[in-house]
Amino acid sequence: MPDKEFTRKVCGLLVDACLIIVLASFLSWTFLTRVVMQGFSMNPTIKDREVVFINRLYKNMLKLNRYDIIAFYVEDQENIKRIIGLPGDHIKISSGNIYVNGSKIEEDFMQVFLSSNFEQDLYVENDEYYVLGDNLDSSKDSRYKDFGNIPKHRIIGKVWNKFGER
């Protein structure tokens, strides 16, 4: 017959392990989700079919910042893009350059230049975000009228970590 003390310790460890698993599952289900990148619009930062984890806390509780990469819905389809314009920002695209509040954006993640024929001048409304893909030649994003700015209620969360290809 097993020792009662040993049995009690084993049962205690099993209960602790179960609680940890339940708590971890609850936290990940509540605050994290995963999205599979579809397409080449975020190359080379996030590749086609790469799995990313999304932190849902950034939707309502934490602040989103310029250059954060977010996941969101457009027409019930998940998308991943980078925030360029925050609520209240003035966005101007002219002569192949992007300006935010009068300052030219020159970031390493933007490796493809815009066509010098494309012009845009707009203000980002409250609770909206202007997003672009890192691969500007292959990205349908806020530059297009049928895509537009992303309302906050469509945001899933901020990209937290890449996992690898699916």
Note the pLDDT of residue 110: 72
What is the token pair recorded at 154?
């469509």
Exposed / middle / buried, residue 61 (Cβ in 10 Å: 0-12, 13-18, 19+): exposed
| Cα–Cα distances in angstroms (integers) from residue 97 to residues 22, 53, 93, 106, 136, in the given order | 50, 31, 6, 9, 12
Chain mean pLDDT for the chain: 85
Note the pLDDT of residue 158: 93
Q: Across the strands, what pairs with 120?
A: 93
Mean pLDDT of 87-99: 92
Whole-model pTM: value is 0.79
Q: Is 148 helix (H, G, I), strand (E, B) or coil?
A: coil
Residue 151 identity: P
What is the token pair recorded at 152?
């906050």
Q: What domains does the chain contain, in order, with CATH numbers?
A: 35-165 (2.10.109.10)
Residue 3 identity: D
Note the pLDDT of residue 164: 57
pLDDT band at 2 (very low <50, low <70, confident <90, very high): low
Mean pLDDT of 80-91: 97
The tens digit of pLDDT for each residue in 19-69 reads 888 776 666 666 778 888 999 999 889 999 999 989 887 766 788 999 999
Measured distance CA(121)–CA(96) in Å, rounded? 13
Measured distance CA(62)–CA(23) in Å, rounded? 22
Mean pLDDT of 149-156: 94
The tens digit of pLDDT for each residue in 95-122 reads 888 999 999 988 877 766 666 678 899 9
Measured distance CA(33)–CA(26) in Å, rounded? 12
- Give the Cβ contact number of residue 59 at 10 Å: 20
Residue whose C-alpha is closest to residue 134's, from 156, 105, 157: 105
pLDDT band at 131 (very low <50, low <70, confident <90, very high): very high
Strands 120-123 and 90-94: antiparallel
